[in-house]
Amino acid sequence: MRAIILIIILSVATWIIVYLSKQHLTTPYSITFAPAFQLAGLATENVNKLVSRVLPINDLDEKQLGEVILAKKGIDLQEKHTAYLNNVLKELQKFKKKPFKYYIVFVDLSFVNAHALPGGVIVIYSGLLKVLHSESELAAIIAHEMGHIELNHCLDGVKFELAAKKIHSEVLGNIADLAIEFLLRHSFSKTQEDAADEYSFNLLLQSKYDVQGVAKAFQALYDHEKESEFRGKSQLKVTDPIRDYFMSHPYLIMRLQKFTAKSDRFYKNNPQKRYIGVKNLKNMKPFINDPYPDEWTN
């Protein structure tokens, strides 16, 4: 089924490319089919959920799985980075729906990345903290990872992997190992990333953080990507439908533009002060403990 869908998508994409090339259109970016593939991903995501829900592994308890994962990853809540991140998390998990507490595991590696795991476990690498500029940007990233958990992307992915491996009953510790290995190795789909982006923006709306934090986080990641060995990947220079289909994340520039526009519309319709937190991130003192009077939007 996936092969048929891919063939249809590529056939339509090829026709569009030929048609547009004959129109001699000019745009700021080359043509990209990433948004269309993002919509098409909804069908695949729903199939994955359907398969995972009709199997015996449905009884997998996410709360228990999260506790085992947390024990395996290890967490020192007294370590300053871990303490700071989990204090920022406190402000955000007030709005969660899942019946368990969230924790952030800090990993001192230069990766500019974060991961979500089932049961409320979020992994953040030190490299990410060095790229971001404010606590509102950090809150946006944390909220994005919470979105993957709250929207069941993590648990559905693990269930589907267990189904693919035909593991219907297994020791919870072994399932936790599989979950960690699987989710740290694989990315979520463009469709799921977009849903987590939306969740992040909506969660920041409920909090006191600057909703521009979502767009500014993408700006920070985009600027870093341009300067890194991956230079140019986030810029749409060459039309490539195959690349657009197989890339896991939507383009950073598209995410940046989308949420810049959303935050601009919000402030236009809802003029209000929200918290930025540049000093909080720099000093590693969370907003909930140290709200600086000059850190609010105008």
pLDDT tens per residue, range 196-214 = 999 999 999 999 999 999 9
pLDDT at residue 165 above 90?
no
Adjacency order of strands within the sheet including 121-125: 103-107, 121-125, 114-117
pLDDT at residue 244 above 50?
no
Question: Among 214, 192, 229, which residue's Cα sits nearest to residue 266?
Answer: 214
Q: What is the mean pLDDT of residues 69-98?
A: 93
How many whole angstroms separate alpha carbon 105 and alpha carbon 85? 8
**Predicted structure pTM score:** 0.76
pLDDT of residue 146: 97
pLDDT of residue 186: 73
- If you search the block for the tokens 């992997």, which residue do you land on? 161
Q: Going by DSSP bridges, is the β-strand pair 114-117/103-107 parallel, antiparallel, or unpaired?
A: unpaired
Q: What is the mean pLDDT of residues 78-106?
A: 95
**DSSP H or E segment with residue 105:** strand 103-107
Contact, 112 vs 217, CB < 8 A? no
Task: Please list the alpha-helical segments (H only) found in the chain.
Answer: 2-23, 34-53, 62-73, 80-92, 126-131, 135-150, 153-164, 172-185, 190-206, 213-227, 241-246, 252-269, 278-283
How many whole angstroms separate alpha carbon 199 and alpha carbon 3? 30
Contact, 35 vs 251, CB < 8 A? no
Least confident range of 55-64, 171-180, 212-221: 55-64
DSSP-assigned beta bridge partners for residue 104: 122
How many whole angstroms separate alpha carbon 118 and alpha carbon 2? 26
How many whole angstroms separate alpha carbon 112 and alpha carbon 224? 9
pLDDT of residue 26: 46
Query: Hey, is 41 helix, strand or coil?
Result: helix
Contact, 204 vs 187, CB < 8 A? no
How many whole angstroms separate alpha carbon 144 and alpha carbon 193? 8
Q: What is the mean pLDDT of the chain?
A: 80
